[in-house]
Homo-oligomer: A and B are copies of this chain.
Amino acid sequence: MKSLGIDLGGTKIAAAAVEEGKILDYHRVDTPRTGIEDVLDSMAAAAKAVLALHPDIRAIGVGSPGPIDFTRGMVVFAPNIPGMENAPLVSGLERRLELPVVLENDANAAGLAEHLYGAAREVKSSIYITISTGIGGGMVVGERVLHGKHGLSGEVGHMTLQPGGPLCGCGYHGCWESLASGRAIAREASFSYRRHVPTVEAFKRAQAGEWKALKVIDNAAYYSGLALANLLKAFDPDLFVIGGGLSQVGSFYFDKVQAAADSFCQGFGRVEIKFAELGVDAGVIGAASVAAGEA
């Protein structure tokens, strides 16, 4: 079924007409920093640009950052977009577009897209992990994204892996995100070099063999491996799919993550890890898939 997917990001809003995982038409606008009404207007404008080419589309799916209140169709909060506290995305877009709108968490949407059409298309259950500035996730069993009682399912970035560890954006210490996200790597590298070292530079220095950077990278890989091993022991999915900015670093980093995960799973089972295949398109494809009722 053809449907419209909208991916709300911190800097860009993408809308696309999607049919069975293929993007037919695509439109992108900047994300306003001026409040929820402007965000809704821009999302509607991007959607209308695509709907004009596909007047037969009857269902819209939206992927948004932040925890979602699925019952009320609201984004609870999204720290990177001003004005997104208890944001009524479903009612705001339905009023503007006069079509039914379904809301999903962005990592869940991307995980669903990878599960249906990407790296996990041949397995029954997968956990999608996005490692960028932060760490998020989505769990898919069969063709369904798990939401959980509070809509928290997949908030794996905030599992505590080192009690009393580094402070996380969520207010707790020692979350996976505080130990192994892009932001965490930049923080630790900057501390080690006593000046600002961005994530990309930390990886370059590690690949060049600098021990200070290697220690930071190895530590992050250790905790990512530990997190995947814990998820294997609790849930045992067929496959872990890794997306997000850090997946671009490729095997130099993820061979370390795989080795760390395996080191925690001797006698249990092998941690199967694949890189995401749909790239930035996973967001709109997943959002459209939710709308198409494929979720």
A: which residues have CB within 8 A of B? 125, 137, 139, 141, 146-156, 158-163, 170-172, 222, 226, 229-238, 264, 266-270, 272
Please classify the interface of chain A as helix (H, G, I), strand (E, B), loop, or mixed, using the class held by over half of its residues: loop
Partner of A235, one of B146, B171, B272: B146
Chain B residues with Cβ below 8 Å from A137 are 234
Partner of A234, one of B159, B264, B268: B159
- When all copies of this chain in the complex are counted, the total is 2
Q: Whose C-beta in chain B lies nearest to the C-beta of A223?
A: B163
Q: Whose C-beta in chain B lies nearest to the C-beta of A146?
A: B235
Chain B residues with Cβ below 8 Å from A233 are 152, 155-156, 158-159
Instruction: Find out whether the CB atom of A158 lies under 8 angstroms from the CB atom of B235.
Output: no
Which 7 pairs show the lowest CB-CB distances between chains A and B? Answer: A148-B236, A150-B269, A152-B236, A159-B230, A153-B236, A155-B233, A149-B238
Chain B residues with Cβ below 8 Å from A153 are 234-236
Q: Whose C-beta in chain B lies nearest to the C-beta of A229?
A: B160
Which of A137, A159, A237, A264 has the most B CB atoms < 10 Å from its CB?
A159
